[in-house]
């Protein structure tokens, strides 16, 4: 495969990718509008490329990606499931897409109705009665939640509570969100079964603890089966329990965070509710809370007044706005469509199949790959490359070899508590045939690791590039494309 030229290499003076609307000649001239001192002296250095060349450029670039639409994508902790097209059709209605955020509330009744229903649905799914749809991503939901916890400490005169407990298996966003919300973090070790060690928790609890952040099931795919003891310990100590909702795909309709003592959680609609990941966003990270935390939720809130819905920002204890305007509305529309396409039984079915699929993979691969924990798993399974170490093979090599066999690699080197981790999350939308083929590929790789380890170390060889030199990328940073190379003689595109 040839490397794709950059837009700047495709650029030729005077070309254009579109005809922008020409201003009416009877309008005041630019010189009558603005004086020289305000105007830029030279045009910007954007590339000049013909429309057909740009279309080919991006079409070719798209072909260099693996995606859900093209490949099985068992990226643990990311819940890469099929994204139904109906969600895209629903969101492309100009009655949603072409709506201005500063219209009056009575001009937004359709949106507010949808948001209000979605809030109710997420409240029912989480078992927590109040929901804010504002946060733009999971990490943003975490941050908003921690700001609320901080605001509650301030309101209660408990600012000495400045520590948040974080299990060692947590996502990296958890501790970094804490720092930004003005908390210190204290680590909680996992026990031998991969769940939170209660002794470590008891030891860490004190009058300085504001909250604990858990993920349940945790990043090993293991359910914290003593979660009611954990929440009781925290609440007795005057601290709150926060749940990272990244793994909600395992427990829809089976158990609810609000029912096992969680005070505040965030959803990842781009995971659980199948809004597309978009190559890294936009996501959406709504938060759900108890009655006690309701007053601290970000503004605006949706309230009903004489039949109409209104946006209300008059909430004195609120942490304020976390994002301009309303949130990632277009993503909320897609998530609503997804939930509507599933009744209560079908939502539960999502988790049942996600868990069944993960356990099937676990069973088929547990001889060939080392399982660091034999505790039953839910929607994802974590293996390691320990058995392959003898021939110098690392998790990275297994991941890269999978690429040559047509699969997106699992998450590797996470969670940090597992050495050489390979974290596989198949989701509910894969067929048994796909799972079988994937398992066969993994078994083939395990054999190759013994018989022909060089094959793994050289992988991938089927893509546009082989392994990339990340160290060099930092040592000699090139963060923009070269823009001023003379055009070559051969016509591009």
Partner 1 sequence: MLEALGLDSIEELFRCIPEKIRLGRNLDLPKLASEPEIIKEMDSMAARNARMDNRPSFLGAGSYLRFIPAAIDSLSSRGEFNTAYTPYQAEVSQGTLQAIMEYQTMLCQLTGMEISNASMYDAGTALAEAVFMAYAVRRKGNKVLVSEAVHPEYRKVLDTYLADHPIEAITIGLENDLTALDSVARSLEENGDDVLAVILQNPNFFGLIEPMENAGSLLGCGRGEDNAPRLDRPLLISIVDPISLGILKDPGAYGADIAIGDGQQLGNPPNLGGPTFGFFTTLQEHVRKVPGRIVGETVDSDGKRGYVLTFQTREQHIRRERATSNICTNQGLCSLRGAMYMAFLGPEGIRKVAEASARLAHYAHGVLTEIEGVEATSTAAFFQEFSLRLPAEAGTVYRTLAERNIGGGLPLGRYFPGRENEMLFAFTELSTKEDIDTLAAELGRVFSKDMREANA
Tell me which residues in 17-76 interact with partner 1 (CB under 8 A): 17-18, 20-24, 26-30, 32-35, 37-40, 43-49, 51, 54-55, 57-71, 73, 75
Is residue 287 within the footprint of partner 1 (CB under 8 A)?
A: no
CB of 116 to partner 1, least distance (A): 11
**Cβ nearer to partner 1, comparing 32 with 390:** 32
| DSSP secondary structure code for residue 454 in this structure | H
Q: Does residue 31 sit in helix, strand or coil?
A: helix
Please, which of residues 217-236 interact with partner 1 by CB under 8 A? 222-223, 225, 227-228
* Element holding 181 (H helix, E strand): none
DSSP letters, 312-347, are E---TTS---SSSSSS-HHHHHHHHHHHHTS-HHHH
Beta strand pairing status for 163-167 and 209-215? parallel
| CA separation for the pair 381, 255 (Å, rounded) | 20
User: In terms of residues, how long is the chain?
Assistant: 493
Binding segment (CB under 8 A) for partner 1, from list 94-102, 233-241, 419-427, 441-449: 94-102
| CA separation for the pair 153, 239 (Å, rounded) | 10
Q: For residues 401 and 445, is the Cβ–Cβ distance under 8 A?
A: yes
Q: In the structure encoding, which two tokens stand for residue 442, read together? A: 């993994």
- x/- mask, partner 1, residues 305-344, rule CB under 8 A, reads --------------xxxxxxxxxxxxx-x--xx-xxxxxx
Is residue 359 within the footprint of partner 1 (CB under 8 A)?
A: yes
Q: Which residues pair with 309 in a beta bridge?
A: 304
Please, which of residues 371-390 interact with partner 1 by CB under 8 A? 375-376, 378
> Nearest 5°: CA angle at 157, between 154 and 128?
55
| CA separation for the pair 47, 482 (Å, rounded) | 11
CB of 315 to partner 1, least distance (A): 13
| CA separation for the pair 273, 332 (Å, rounded) | 10
Strands ordered across the beta sheet of 209-215: 130-132, 287-289, 264-267, 240-245, 209-215, 163-167, 184-188
**Cβ nearer to partner 1, comparing 59 with 490:** 59
Q: For residues 199 and 189, is the Cβ–Cβ distance under 8 A?
A: no
**Cβ nearer to partner 1, comparing 156 with 450:** 156
CB of 131 to partner 1, least distance (A): 14
CB of 387 to partner 1, least distance (A): 22
Which member of 158, 237, 255, 312 binds partner 1 (CB under 8 A)? 255
CB of 86 to partner 1, least distance (A): 5
Is residue 277 within the footprint of partner 1 (CB under 8 A)?
A: yes
Is residue 364 within the footprint of partner 1 (CB under 8 A)?
A: yes
Please, which of residues 397-416 interact with partner 1 by CB under 8 A? 399-400, 403, 408-409, 414
CB of 162 to partner 1, least distance (A): 10
CB of 444 to partner 1, least distance (A): 19
Binding-site size for partner 1 (CB under 8 A) equals 191
Please, which of residues 165-194 interact with partner 1 by CB under 8 A? 171-173, 175-182, 184-185
Binding segment (CB under 8 A) for partner 1, from list 147-155, 232-240, 288-296, 383-391: 147-155
Largest CA distance in the chain: 79
**Cβ nearer to partner 1, comparing 238 with 349:** 349
């Amino acid at each position: 495969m040839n490397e794709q030229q950059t837009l700047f290499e495709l650029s030729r003076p005077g070309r254009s990718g579109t005809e922008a609307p020409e201003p009416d000649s009877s309008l005041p001239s630019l010189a009558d509008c603005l004086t020289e001192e305000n105007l830029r002296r030279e045009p910007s250095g954007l590339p000049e490329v013909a429309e057909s060349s740009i279309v080919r450029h991006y079409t070719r670039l798209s072909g260099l990606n693996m995606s859900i639409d093209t490949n099985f994508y068992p990226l643990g902790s990311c819940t890469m499931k099929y994204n139904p097209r109906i969600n895209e059709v629903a969101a492309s209605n100009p009655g949603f897409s072409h709506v201005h955020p500063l219209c009056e509330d009575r001009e937004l009744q359709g949106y507010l109705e949808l948001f209000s229903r979605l809030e109710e649905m997420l409240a029912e799914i989480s078992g927590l009665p109040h929901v804010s749809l504002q946060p733009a991503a999971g990490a943003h939901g975490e941050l908003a939640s921690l700001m609320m916890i901080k605001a509650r400490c301030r309101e209660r005169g408990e600012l000495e509570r400045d520590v948040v407990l974080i299990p060692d298996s947590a996502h990296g966003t958890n501790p970094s969100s804490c720092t930004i919300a003005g908390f210190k973090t204290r680590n909680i070790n996992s026990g031998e079964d991969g769940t939170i060690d209660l002794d470590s928790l008891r030891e860490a609890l004190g009058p300085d603890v504001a909250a604990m952040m858990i993920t349940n099931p945790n990043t090993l795919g293991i359910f914290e089966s003593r979660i009611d003891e954990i929440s009781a310990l925290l609440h007795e100590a005057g601290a709150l329990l926060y749940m990272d909702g990244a793994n909600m795909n395992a427990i829809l309709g089976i158990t609810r965070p609000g029912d096992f003592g969680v005070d505040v959680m965030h959803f990842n609609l781009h995971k659980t509710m199948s809004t597309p990941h978009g190559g890294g966003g936009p996501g959406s990270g709504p938060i759900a809370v108890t009655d006690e935390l309701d007053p601290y939720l970000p503004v605006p809130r949706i309230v009903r007044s004489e039949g109409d819905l209104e946006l209300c920002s008059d909430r004195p204890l609120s942490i304020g706005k976390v994002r301009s305007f309303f949130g990632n509305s277009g993503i909320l529309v897609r998530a609503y469509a997804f939930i509507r396409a599933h009744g209560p039984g079908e939502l539960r079915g999502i988790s049942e199949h996600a868990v069944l699929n993960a356990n099937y993979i676990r069973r088929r691969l547990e001889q060939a790959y080392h399982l660091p924990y034999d505790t039953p798993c839910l929607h994802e399974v974590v293996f390691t490359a320990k058995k392959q170490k003898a021939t110098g093979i690392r998790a990275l090599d297994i991941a890269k070899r999978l690429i040559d066999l047509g699969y997106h690699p699992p998450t590797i080197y996470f969670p940090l508590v597992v050495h050489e981790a390979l974290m596989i999350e198949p989701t509910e939308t894969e067929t048994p045939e796909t799972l079988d083929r994937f398992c066969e590929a993994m078994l083939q790789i395990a054999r190759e690791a013994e018989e022909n380890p060089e094959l793994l170390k050289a992988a991938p060889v089927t893509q546009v590039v082989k392994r990339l030199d990340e160290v060099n990328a930092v040592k000699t940073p090139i963060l923009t494309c070269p823009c001023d190379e003379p055009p070559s003689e051969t016509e591009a595109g």
